[in-house]
Structure 1
Amino acid sequence: MDWPVPHDIAVDERVRQAGLRPTRQRVALANLLFAKGDRHLSAEELHEEAVNAGVPVSLATVYNALHQFTKAGLLRILAVEGSKTYFDTNTSDHHHFYIEGENKIFDISSGPVRVVNLPEPPEDMEIANVDIIVRLRPKQKA
């Protein structure tokens, strides 16, 4: 295997600390994911970035790695449309804007969003998180 993989000890260690074996493909994908700060990517977008970076990886492997990273707590899944899923590198509690028709998602940064009157969860359950996605579209001209 002689494809380029940037060696980043921090990413190797981050993958290892999450309980995952730092394989070359996982480390290469983690480098692509986390090197540019907080971002929102679909599996297809990450696959395209990997191919463009010379990382020989299948789309199925990208999906598997993203789900492993999510299960390990490195990513957060955002289900936007029926089959459209984004992976968020910022795992803190925060909410999002989504621009319909452009498939763009970004963080709401203008302060906390208040959610009131949440239903009581079923017995023996607790609310883990509340995800709010505010959908945007261009204003209709009158």
Structure 2
Amino acid sequence: MTAELNAFALENRVREAGLRPTRQRIALAELLFATGDRHISAEELHEEAQEAGVRVSLATVYNTLHQFTEAGMLRILPVEGSKTYFDTNTSDHHHFFLEGENRLVDIPEGPVTLANLPSPPEDMEIAHVDIVVRLRPKATS
């Protein structure tokens, strides 16, 4: 796919999500979606944008990521206190979090069983369950 076609496809994707395809949204979408599924923080995307010559503030990156999430283009993954990651793969799947590397990795598709899930209040339903399994190197003895 040529860069021109890719930009056109991303503009359509942004528009179909109900968002106005501004120059900054399209530039950030190109960075987010050009390389396939990935997990990224706002700070990492801001750094990539700066390196690519995209003039955008960190606040605009945060706003755009949240707009993309609300539009169903991204999935938000709160992992570490104030650290939030965004996933371009919006399908139902779970994650390993590699401590020390601060990196998320998809858990390979397969059975993940969750027992004793609490019942939601009567007027609510469970929309999604996110499982994040934290990993660290084994201690050597």
TM-score normalised per structure 2: 0.94
Question: Over residues 102-127 of structure 1, what are the superposed CA-to-partner deviations in whole Å (9 max), with x where a residue is unaligned?
Answer: 10111001513111221110111000
C-alpha separation between the residues in 1 aligned to 2:40 and 2:130? 17
Give me the whole-angstrom Cα distance separating, in 2, the residues matched to 1:112 and 1:24.
42
Name 1:75's counterpart in structure 2: 74
Partner of residue 13, structure 2: 14
User: Aligned equivalents of 1:17 and 1:112: distance in 2?
Assistant: 33
Aligned AA (2:60)? T
Q: Does 1:126 align with 2:122?
A: no
Moved over 2 A (4+): none
Whole-Å separation in 1 of the counterparts to 2:80 and 2:42: 14
8 Å contact kept, 2:93–2:109: no
TM superposition score normalised by structure 1: 0.94
- Which residue of the partner structure matches residue 41 of structure 1? 40
Q: How well do the aligned residues superpose, as a CA RMSD in angstroms? A: 0.9
Gaps of at least 5 residues in structure 2 are none
Residue segments in structure 1 that go unaligned for 5+ positions in a row: 1-5
Q: Name the CA distance, whole Å, in 2 between partners of 1:112 and 1:22.
A: 39
Distance in structure 2 (CA, Å) of the matches to 1:136 and 1:110: 18
Count of matched residue pairs: 137
The one-character-per-residue Cα deviations of 1:48-81 (angstroms, maximum 9, x if unpaired) are 1101111000000000000000000000000001
Alignment match, 2:56: 57
Q: For 1:141, give the aligned amino acid.
A: T
